[in-house]
Amino acid sequence: MNAVYILSGLGIFSLLSEIFNIRKVLFPIVLLGLAAAALLLIMDWNSVQSYYSNMLTFDNYAVAFSAGISIVALLWFMMSKDYFENNTHVTDHFALVLFSLVGAVFMVSYSNLAMLFLGIEILSISLYILAGSKMKDLFSNEAAFKYFLMGSFATGFLLFGIALVYGVTGSFDLNIIAETVAAPSVNFPSLLYAGVLMMMVGLAFKISAVPFHFWAPDVYEGSPTVVTAFMSTIVKIAAFAAFFRLFSTCFAAVSSQWVDVVQVITVLTLVVSNITAVYQNSVKRMLAFSSVAHAGYMLITLVALNEVSDSAILYYVVSYATASIAAFTILHNVAFENENVTAEAFNGLVKRNPFMAFTMTVALLSLAGIPPLAGFFAKYYIFTVAFESGYVGLVLLAILTSLIGIYYYFRIIIAMYLKSSDIITPIETPLLHRVLMVICLLASIILGVAPDLIIRLI
Amino acid sequence: MNENITQAVQGIPLNYYIWLSTALFVIGVLGVLYRRNAIIIFMCIELMLNAVNLLLVAFSAYHGDGSGQVFVFFIMAVAAAEVAVGLAILIVIYHNTRTTDINVLNKLKW
């Protein structure tokens, strides 16, 4: 809970720093604050605490995901500092990001549907603005508008679902709903199932699972690269953690009613996103489809729900987020002014900046799931969960689609090492980005070599 | 006073409320999907949210539980914030394109 206070405080501080003209110290304070938030969260480990008459509950699941979000946010700030300082009003944008992080923490720690709704909205409303932060750019305008439209449309579905579930159970509290739902005779079962399905639709929009993904590639492509990185890491983590928390605790008792739907969504997500990603020219759009595909792999744990599902997800999101941040940092440096580059922009990168090419290779291999990197073990654990629950067909399909994934990730790797380019000027990266790349690189390798650091945590 | 309102709400069968708000919600969804004018799409989203509000109030009265009505306030406040941001985005688009027809937003392929 202290983390929520720190994050909100940082947001307000960042607004005030514009007034008092202390912008220079803002960035170090934000980094320190995020580190402190993560530390305070980890100190609450193993002590389940409820706040505000059981509106938020910080159990181990919530603590692990909020700490993860704070740490990924720290990496993200290192990536985006230059962009915001050069192009926009840095304080406003930092404040928006920090407030949206508060929403993300709500989304992983809610124990009341009102908090789920508020968390999603706090996160999304800030992001609509961030997506459109290049005011003169029509692409960015369009991304913001589509994101806004789809976001509020999805919220409508989520709310209608919440209203129906409230109608049947008479409460918004997750524990009470879980008890009522588990009772042998529920009043109006059809209303309840309609409510559960509508909440699923609303949340599937947020995690951009097929067939509710169509907004994602456009929004990811149109937004500034740093905002895209934020959306495909932190927003994804928060939305998926919220989805999983709701269905694994609240509606686990009626899983027979929704598990088939989730399975269909999972299969569609895996197949459609991986195949579409192959046909993308823009690297950013390819990464967008790859992030949709990763939502599919995460959904497998919900289909094959058992007691190790949540630690498998935690490991997956951490490995995915570190690799993604690294990939987006490099894309940002390679593309620079021109936001939407094709794979040709990576031609001969190994001659222009060998370290960047190496980091990109590791990041993409980790996303593709090649041993011994973190991404491989993340997929491996998820497949193990599914295998133990008897979903052999789903595992085979997921392995097949990740082979397709290897194909489109390798296109960039091949471009970097084997193709030559007319431009041979070396690319200079800021010191901060080099530090960030080293951190992501180490994280991908160390977590791959020693997955036990995270995997048995929750 | 309070009792009277609850009784008045309960004077109509719950089914009617559910059908009415479902109808409003579906009209809103269809509007979002088929209308091309951004302002009307905003109105349709509001219609969806208000259908939810109606449903929550009806359930709240039938359960004799206040939390549903409190939730309605949350939805109203958030919807207002959301529309403020949405209209701001729309104004930026209008500055760049001089129209509110969403068909101009086709730079990124769907």
Residues in A lying within 8 Å of B, measured between beta carbons: 114, 117-118, 121, 125, 128-129, 132, 135-136, 138-139, 141-146, 148-149, 152-153, 155-156, 159-160, 162-164, 166-167, 170-172, 191, 214, 217-218, 221-222
CA distance A239 to A203: 7
The pLDDT value recorded for residue B2 is 65
Return the CATH number at B45.
1.10.287.3510
Q: Chain B residue closest to A160 (CA)?
A: B52
Residue B74 lies in a domain: yes
Cβ-based contacts of A115 with chain B (< 8 Å): none
Cβ-based contacts of B82 with chain A (< 8 Å): 121, 125, 148, 152, 155
Consecutive sets of 10 residues in chain A, 458 residues long: mean pLDDT of each? 92 91 88 94 88 91 94 94 81 93 95 95 94 87 92 95 94 92 81 93 93 91 92 94 93 89 95 92 91 94 88 92 94 78 84 90 93 91 91 94 92 89 81 92 90 77
CA distance A121 to B75: 10
Cis peptide before A189 (omega within 30 of 0): no
Angle in degrees, CA A336, A342, A348, rounded to 5: 80
A32: enclosing H helix or E strand = helix A23-43
Give me A356's structure tokens. Answer: 């960047």
Give me A225's structure tokens. Answer: 């690269």
Q: Which of residues 2-31 of B touch A (CB under 8 A)?
A: 18, 21, 25, 28-29
> Chain B closest CA to A132's CA: distance in Å?
7
Please indicate whether, in this complex, the C-beta atoms of A136 and B48 are within 8 angstroms of each other: no
pLDDT at residue B1 is higher than 60: no
Residue A43: closest CA among A22, A76, A66: A66
Query: Any bridge partners for residue A51, and if so which?
Result: A56
> Chain A closest CA to B2's CA: distance in Å?
19
Task: With H, G, I as helix, E, B as strand and everything else as coil, classify residue A112.
Answer: strand
Residue A80: closest CA among A432, A442, A441, A435: A432
The dihedrals phi and psi of A298, each to the nearest 5 degrees, come to: -65, -35
The answer to whether the beta carbons of residues A432 and A341 sit under 8 Å apart is no
Residue B64 lies in a domain: yes
Q: Which domain holds residue B18?
A: 2-100
Count A/B contacts: CB-CB distance under 8 Å: 118
Q: How confident is the model at residue B110 (pLDDT cuts 50, 70, 90)?
A: very low
**Structural domain total, chain B:** 1
pTM of the model: 0.94
Of B59, B67, B86, the CB nearest to A148: B86
Residue B67 lies in a domain: yes
Please indicate whether, in this complex, the C-beta atoms of B105 and A221 are within 8 angstroms of each other: no
Please indicate whether, in this complex, the C-beta atoms of A141 and B18 are within 8 angstroms of each other: no
Please indicate whether, in this complex, the C-beta atoms of A139 and B107 are within 8 angstroms of each other: yes
Of B52, B96, B102, the CB nearest to A163: B52
Q: Which residue has the tokens 């960047």?
A: A356
Cβ-based contacts of B75 with chain A (< 8 Å): 117, 159
Q: Which of B26, B36, B42, B92 to mutate to test the interface with A (most CBs of A within 10 A)?
A: B92
Residue B107 lies in a domain: no
Task: With H, G, I as helix, E, B as strand and everything else as coil, classify residue A388.
Answer: helix
Q: pLDDT tens digits, residue range B5-31?
A: 778 888 888 899 999 999 999 999 999
CA distance A161 to B75: 14
Residue B108 lies in a domain: no
CA distance B4 to A93: 49
Q: Chain B residue closest to A135 (CA)?
A: B92
> Chain A closest CA to B1's CA: distance in Å?
23
Cα–Cα distance list, A142 to A152, A373, B46, B90, B104 (Å) = 15, 37, 21, 10, 9
The pLDDT value recorded for residue A337 is 65
DSSP-derived secondary structure letter, A170: S
Q: How confident is the model at residue B109 (pLDDT cuts 50, 70, 90)?
A: low
Give me A194's structure tokens. Answer: 């309609």
Cβ-based contacts of A169 with chain B (< 8 Å): none
Cβ-based contacts of A167 with chain B (< 8 Å): 18, 55, 59, 62-63
Of A145, A156, A222, the CB nearest to B49: A156
Q: Is B40 on the interface with A (CB under 8 A)?
A: no
Query: Any bridge partners for residue A445, and if so which?
Result: none
Q: Which of residues 71-110 of B touch A (CB under 8 A)?
A: 71, 74-75, 78, 81-82, 85-86, 88-90, 92-93, 96-97, 102, 105, 107-110
Residue B34 lies in a domain: yes
pLDDT at residue B86 is higher than 80: yes
Residue B16 lies in a domain: yes
> Which residues fall within 8 angstroms of residue A224, CB to CB, at 6 or more apart?
A83, A87, A133, A134, A140, A339
Of B56, B63, B89, the CB nearest to A148: B89
CA distance A34 to A434: 20
Please indicate whether, in this complex, the C-beta atoms of B74 and A117 are within 8 angstroms of each other: yes
Residue B8 lies in a domain: yes
